[in-house]
Amino acid sequence: MTDCIDLDVRPILRAGNEPFSAIMAALAQLAPGQGLRLYAPFKPVPLFAVMAEKGFAYAERELDRGEWEVLFTPEARPVLSAPPPPQPFDDWPEPKIMLDNRDLDPPEPMVRILGAAEQLGPGETLSALLRREPVFLFPQLEKRGFRWLGGFTPDGSTYELTVRAPA
């Protein structure tokens, strides 16, 4: 059994905050060979790919009321470096699809955006409004060949994302 540290992100999410930085901070504190036991209010499927890229396998277990415990353990394989952020396109067409995901809880915004992105034609774009930066969405878009640009509005209340289909 791997020695683990525990991280409960349920209170973070209930407060309306994004737990990604807390998860990455916990990873930074792990000793060699140590794992991370994560408690979440939903099955954190997008996190599985992120953790795999960092060299961790996972085992999940559903708890009461749809909550989850996920054990991330280090794998004996090299850790892949993250790809560089995508570079902006010179000519972005007007979005074909506009999504307002600000009232949705994770992982619904990601599922909705990926579904809409699959409906785009070559080079077409979609625009999405979100409450948080969709950090788990970015690797999923890149795996599918999509490019993206995004950032928070000046007041910091909304993350604006534009996704472009491969040409």
Place of tokens 């396998």: 57
What pLDDT score does 55 carry?
A: 87
Residue 65 contacts residue 79 (beta carbons within 8 Å) = no
Residue 117 contacts residue 144 (beta carbons within 8 Å) = yes
Residue 89 contacts residue 125 (beta carbons within 8 Å) = no
Q: What is the dihedral of CA 95, 49, 43, 33, to 10 degrees?
A: -150
What pLDDT score does 113 carry?
A: 96
pTM (2 d.p.): 0.53
Successive 10-residue mean pLDDT values, the chain, 167 residues: 86 88 89 92 86 88 90 72 51 92 91 95 95 89 91 88 93
